[in-house]
Amino acid sequence: MDLTTFEEVLGLFADTALIALLYGYGEPLLDPTIGEKIETCSRAGVTSMISTDLLPADRKVIADVVDAGIDAIRISLHGDSRGTYEKYARTDKYEEVLDNLRFLLAYRSRREKHLLIEWLFCFHNYNVHEIESARQKARDMGVDHFRVTPLWVPPEAASEWMPPQVLEEFVKDAADLTCSIHYREIMVNWDGTLRPCCRNERTLKLDLGDFRDFEELWKGPIYKYIRNVSSGRCKPDAAMEVPCNVCEIVSGRKVPNW
């Protein structure tokens, strides 16, 4: 998203927004305007956060993000060894990621910044045995928070990637699941179009409209349907082309869509 559009988005929501999640389907450290966007959030009094895999990562970019006043950085690092990391990431840059994380922690300390750093560990069949060793490594390095969550996988890959006990637990509880995300956040695409969340692949027909029309859209029939279907107050309607209809949680299919 270009800086002008971002400033317009933030200007519309700044009075009520609590946090701006400056990431979506790409790597925020590759955005040449990420520092300016963080500074814009700071001036508006909105907390800012990015989620990054620290690859590729120029140390100067990392430093600039810290100096710009970022409030929280989530590091997506799904393994505690080169082998398990490569299985999912499909790259041999495990040690480089750790080195960049060490640089980030040291630079935060040197600049005396109040910045939360979180290690996100998405577990799957190939790395679930490393959760506790990764947790200890995060603690030893000085990471503030270690978050563990199941890896999102498409239904056809679930049997390979997800531990059987997770699948069993999900199936047992699936009928009672509801989704509250549509009451607490929205997603604005790079081109200014709206989506209710980032759970599913983006297709243009599932975009809800332009962010400038948010108030009208929020009170309109599409968003009302989204809130009703995601909270379980009505069944999915194929005539309503919204992402919720292809979300396994909302549609009631017994496979995980984390």
Predicted confidence (pLDDT) per residue in 18-51, tens digit: 999 999 888 999 999 999 999 999 999 999 999 9
Instruction: Give the list of residues 6+ apart from residue 150 with CB closer than 8 angstroms, or none.
Output: 122, 123, 124, 162, 166, 256, 258
Q: Is the peptide bond before 243 cis (omega within 30 degrees of 0)?
A: no
State mean pLDDT over 53-65. Answer: 92
Summarize pLDDT for 71-117 with one digit per residue, the tens: 999 999 999 999 999 999 999 999 999 999 999 999 999 999 999 99
Q: Is the pLDDT of residue 67 over 70?
A: yes
DSSP 145: E
Q: Mapping DSSP to helix (H, G, I), strand (E, B) and coil, where does residue 253 land?
A: coil
Average pLDDT, the chain: 87
| Phi, psi dihedrals of residue 204, rounded to the nearest 5° | -60, -30
Question: H/E element holding 72?
Answer: strand 72-76
The CA-atom distances, in angstroms, between 2 and each of 7, 61, 218, 240 are 9, 18, 24, 31
Distance between CA atoms of 239 and 8, rounded to whole angstroms?
Answer: 32
pLDDT value at 165 more than 90: no
**Token pair recorded at residue 210:** 């332009």
